[in-house]
A and B are shown apart, each in its own frame.
Chain A
Amino acid sequence: MKKSLSAQLSVTVVSLILGLALAAQFKNVQRVGGSVSLQRTQELTRQVQKLEQENEALEARIQEYERRIKEFENAVQSEDQSNRLIYEELERTRMLAGLVDVQGPGVVVTVNVKHVNEWGQDAIVQNVRYDDLLKLVNELNAAGAEAIAINDERIIATTEIRNAGDYIVINTNRYSSPFEIKAIGNPDTLEAALKLLGGVADDLGVYLQINIKRVDNIRIPKYRGTFQYKFAKPVQDTNARS
């Protein structure tokens, strides 16, 4: 069985291309994890839409309840002068808890992915991860920030910052880059704390694009969620220790 050289060569070239395509596809599937069927996509889309609608309805209810609380407070305040002290204390506590919009001078830090040119292709070094944001928030708190918000999600005592798939969840809402961290405090101190030699900005700057800007007046919105204490109860007897 003797074949001409050109036939052999053509088969070899075609096999080479087939091998290349096979390997490329194999790598792709490994990276992405195969394709998702159309039905499943549609089903998930419907679910997302339904949940979004439910979310909107619930948010409307929150606003309604907040309005009613305000009404009660106003009624109490006008009722008695001695209640005013209580009301003032309440306002102070709310500010501490992050339940009121606040404004003041501070810094705005934008965190975005860094693009590099790799093999002639545009690629990103690394996605923004939750611990990058935690480090920045931690540093800002250490530098005396009085209020912090990431993408207008107020950071409070129970705020979580965690990865969930391709997103980062903050106060149960999903976000992806770019992130904008607003912090109210002494702008000099805040900026200096971040820009410290070998500090957070230096560290994260290796693989992320970090931009720190001083702003004279920042507005930080209040926490939009609700609090529920199922397990924790205030201690009544101050002497009792366990």
Chain B
Amino acid sequence: MQISTKFAIAAAIAAGLSSHSAMAQQTVTLMAYSGLFQERYTKAVVEPFMKANPGIKIEYFPMPNSAQMLGNLRAQKAAPQADVAIMDVSVSKAATDEKLLVKIDEKTSPNVADLFSAARIADVDGVAVTFDNLVMIYNSDIVKEAPTSWLDLADKKYAGKVAIPGMPDIQGLSLVLILEKARGGFNHLRSVDKGIAAMGEIAPNVQTWEPKPEVYPVIISGQAVIGAGWNARAQVNADSSNGKLKAVLPQEGSVFQINTINHVAGGPGKEATAKFIDYALSPEAQKAFTESMFYAPTNAKALISEAAIARTAVKSMDKVIPVDWIALAKVREPIMDQWRRKVIPLSR
């Protein structure tokens, strides 16, 4: 009785204190991808951060793609509602050029010092928070022998069974870059003729250039049996399909896709925003998210389990073809033009 009374008083005081701290609580709005990314990122990064920082609340504002995030940032330029945006590096560049972001560096976030050099992109205010890479994916129920080369996609036995998210999606563009290198091209910023020609060999096999809703379920369902996709989602889908979907990193290699984390200029979150960004770049957050969704970490000090690291491109860095996405943006239009005129007509 006495004990419980004491406890009640203590609880009341605690409640009073916590309600006091709730008034001082800061909210940081995080704008990032919806769906699987939201689910995994919330569990691996957002929730642990909030636990460690009871005074800060993270609102996850889901968006289907980077372009819509940019659209939102443009629309709210005068009074931004978001504090942090996780989006593709080329969109981050556009946002930087439109002065929508605040520069992230060692001064605002100590963890930046530990990032891989590839994670710090010139003339972009944000820094890389995840690396992903293009992989070849296939339905292992139907394709018994694991393919080893991207050019296996041109094999006649896959006629009408190939699904590739085509240009303007960067997966299609990435494949062109990989094939250009495989065919002996040395500077994809100057010419991708060889890559386009190789794509033209694959094109007749292609069932769809717009696998919807994503390429993974299309291959799991057997509607298509082989194709290209991003590693992280392929790994998660491989698990959820009980191994029906398999992903391989073909011998010709791959390219990285970079998601950056960005500090929105003039957002309401203030110093809590910087705190969250620093956490997102920390070894522990990087480790947790890589082990949850198999994006390669951007922090060199992240100590990731062997099982998880084996499912990223980290151990095959020699196979990763360096791409300067910012420089590439300048030649994207002519590549798109070649795609339309030299690849699509061959796939009819």
A binds B: no
Binding site for B on A (CB under 8 A): none
